[in-house]
């Protein structure tokens, strides 16, 4: 079996005091990584604060013979991001991998959504990944090595009733992931997104019972460990993982329809099914590639 090369690497896992983050932190440590167990110890809605959750996971890792330190800073501020990475530098002198996992829920239908419910969810999920990754970025670049993970969600990919705030945050992470993959490439910094499916306090009353039994977070963590490792060169990927199921999600652009003259809106209405068809479509690698495809469809050589 391939050696992942995680030994001695320094990984920061946010929201590692429970659920998926705890499982990721434990597995990374078991593979020899030195881990910052970050958790603010909030409730599911992001309220409250406590150091017990992070401390408990740090202790579990140490008892199992691994190396870990606890961090209680919140990802929702720039200062929090700096402090979390500061803990890694202080304890271990470097940072190699950032697993942006901390999360909360403020589910509400769009009709009833209030500003605070939007702000709080965006701050933790979307801004949080910016804050922690931004603080780590100069160090990853300087080391010419980095593994960044974001935690997206089926909700961000496909939508879900009552979760416009969460869906927008999770979909926003895809833009961050794809673009960091491009900006990091020169420095061997990869960035990938994981859309997990796991039994946790976040999903215990949402997912169907028989599925929950199968969905221990431990099924997701091997993928996280691989994506954090030097062995993995994949970047800009979006992967679904849960209960032993692993798959890549891709954005396809259909073959499309081309007009030589500005069409009437009615012409588009007539051909809308064809325009929407994705069969035979392709997956653009990045914006340049997507633009080249449009140019090619228009018969323009770039």
Alpha-carbon span 288 to 302, nearest angstrom: 11
- Among 153, 134, 15, 21, smallest CA distance to 74 is for 15
Least distance from ligand NAI to the Cβ atom of residue 219, Å? 11
36 vs 75, which CB is nearer to ligand NAI? 75
Q: What is the DSSP letter of 196?
A: E
Whole-number minimum distance, CB 289 to ligand NAI, in Å? 28
Distance, in Å, from the CA atom of 286 to the CA atom of 265, rounded to the nearest integer, reads 29
Catalytic residue among 166, 187, 226, 245: 166
Given the complex with ligand NAI, which of 14 and 133 has the nearer CB atom?
14
Distance CA 167, CA 14 (A): 19
Gap between the Cα atoms of 86 and 135, Å rounded: 8
Question: Tokens 């300087």 sit at which residue?
Answer: 142
**75 interacts with ligand NAI by CB under 6 A:** yes
Angle between helices 19-30 and 52-63 (to 10 degrees): 30
Which residues contact residue 29 at a Cβ distance below 8 angstroms, ignoring those fewer than 6 apart? Answer: 35, 61, 64, 66, 67, 68
By CB under 6 A, name the one of 29, 53, 180, 189 that touches ligand NAI.
53
Q: Determine whether 166 is an active site residue.
A: yes
Pick from 120, 192, 200, 235 the residue near ligand NAI by CB under 6 A. Answer: 200
Report 94-153 residues binding ligand NAI (CB under 6 A). 101-104, 124, 151, 153
Q: How far is the CB of 250 from ligand NAI (least distance, A)?
A: 18
> Is residue 198 within the footprint of ligand NAI (CB under 6 A)?
yes
- Name the strand (E) or helix (H) holding 220: none
Comparing CB distances to ligand NAI, the nearer of 248 and 271 is 248
| CB closer to ligand NAI, 105 vs 145 | 105
For residue 4, which of 233, 240, 187 has the smallest C-alpha distance?
233
Q: Pick from 174, 202, 212, 241: which binds ligand NAI (CB under 6 A)? A: 202
Instruction: Quote the least distance from Cβ 30 to ligand NAI, whole Å.
Output: 18
Burial of 205-223, coded b for 16+ CB within 10 Å and e otherwise, reads eebeeeebeebbbebbbbb
State which of residues 6, 11, 17, 190 lies at the interface with ligand NAI (CB under 6 A). 17
Which of residues 10, 25, 46, 131 is near ligand NAI by CB under 6 A?
46
**Position among 27, 69, 76, 225 found at the interface with ligand NAI (CB under 6 A):** 76
Cβ atoms of residues 35 and 15 within 8 Å: no
Binding site for ligand NAI (CB under 6 A): 14-15, 17-21, 38-42, 44, 46, 53, 74-76, 101-104, 124, 151, 153, 196-198, 200-203
Q: Which residues participate in catalysis according to the annotation?
A: 166
């Amino acid at each position: 079996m391939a050696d992942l090369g995680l030994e001695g690497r320094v990984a920061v896992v946010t929201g590692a005091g429970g659920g998926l983050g705890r499982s990721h932190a434990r597995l990374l440590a078991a593979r020899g990584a030195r881990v910052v167990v970050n958790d603010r110890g909030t409730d599911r809605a992001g309220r409250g604060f406590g150091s017990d959750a992070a401390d408990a996971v740090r202790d579990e890792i140490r008892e199992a013979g691994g190396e870990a330190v606890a961090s209680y800073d919140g990802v929702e501020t720039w200062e929090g991001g700096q402090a979390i990475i500061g803990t890694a530098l202080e304890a271990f002198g470097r940072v190699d991998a950032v697993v942006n996992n901390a999360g909360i829920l403020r589910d509400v239908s769009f009709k009833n959504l209030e500003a605070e419910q939007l702000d709080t969810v965006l701050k933790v999920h979307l801004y949080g990944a910016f804050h922690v990754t931004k603080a780590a970025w100069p160090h990853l670049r300087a080391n010419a090595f980095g593994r960044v993970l974001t935690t997206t969600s089926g909700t961000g990919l496909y939508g879900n009733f009552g979760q416009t705030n969460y869906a927008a945050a999770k979909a926003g992470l895809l833009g961050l992931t794809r673009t960091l993959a491009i900006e990091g490439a020169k420095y061997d910094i990869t960035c990938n997104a994981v859309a997990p499916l796991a039994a946790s306090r976040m999903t215990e009353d949402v997912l169907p019972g028989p599925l929950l039994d199968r969905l221990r977070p431990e099924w997701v963590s091997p993928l996280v460990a691989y994506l954090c490792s030097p062995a993995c060169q994949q970047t800009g990927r979006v992967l679904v993982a849960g209960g032993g199921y692993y798959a890549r999600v891709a954005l396809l652009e259909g073959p499309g329809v081309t007009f030589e003259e500005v069409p009437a809106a009615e012409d588009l209405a007539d051909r809308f099914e064809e325009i929407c068809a994705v069969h035979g479509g392709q997956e653009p690698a990045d914006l340049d590639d997507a633009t080249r495809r449009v140019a090619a469809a228009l018969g323009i050589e770039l």
